[in-house]
Amino acid sequence: MSDIKTALVTGGTGGIGTAICRALSKQGLNVVANYHPMEADNIEAWQAAQKADGFEFDVVPADVSSFDSCKEMIESLAAPVDVLVNCAGITRDASMKKMDVSQWDAVIRTNLDSVFNVTKQVFAGMTERGYGRVVNISSVNGQRGQFGQTNYSAAKAGMHGFTMALAQEGAAKGVTVNSVSPGYVQTAMTDMIPDEIKEAIIATVPMKRMGTVEEIADAVAYLTSDSAAYVTGQNLGINGGFFMS
């Protein structure tokens, strides 16, 4: 049996997800990137781009908002999951006055229900083998809230509670559970923000810049490493001082 551990990154083909896949691969993990089935047309190009940079990742489709889809995803993998990074997420922003139930449900199911849907499939195996790392990618807005994001902020805050509770279940069995809460991060999505709005955002950050996807990925790499074996139930904020607790 191979000694190489397997990591699964949900939302692994997104901006932050890709950086996490690369960071974990550099640690010697076999990395599997999850993607939504609706993104299938883009996966070959994504894999080719990663290969051109020296990275080869397995990919697996699943709608993480569906428990059954997650079950099928885990059953399809060739090896048990030793490291799980719950990174999949969406936004459907609107003020409470304008938010409809479909916007609420979509974000809660994709951002919060997904954490249960995927973790449930792998956690028992981790405890039985006496080793596991779970890292949940939350958000600074799950700590401080954000106008127009009651759905997103609620889901990300829920991830913190999930993290602390599950950490207690895994602590004596070699399984750590932590979260990372990014602040404003430079991605393809934030690059589309008009410059004047982007400058106003950056002005609120004490470090006067956005974070990089690599900075988020490095935090995940630390929490999944042997160096963090005594770290569990914690949230690591990567936000340039935007929120301090």
Q: Is the pLDDT of residue 2 over 70?
A: no
List residues with catalytic annotation.
Answer: 152
Task: Tell if the pTM clears 0.85, that is, is over it.
Answer: yes
Structural contact between residues 178 and 163, judged by C-beta atoms closer than 8 angstroms: yes
Give residue-wise pLDDT tens across range 109-129. Answer: 999 999 999 999 999 999 999
Q: Average pLDDT, stretch 178-204?
A: 91
Sequence spans of domains, the chain: 6-186+212-233
Superfamily of domain 6-186+212-233: NAD(P)-binding Rossmann-like Domain (3.40.50.720)
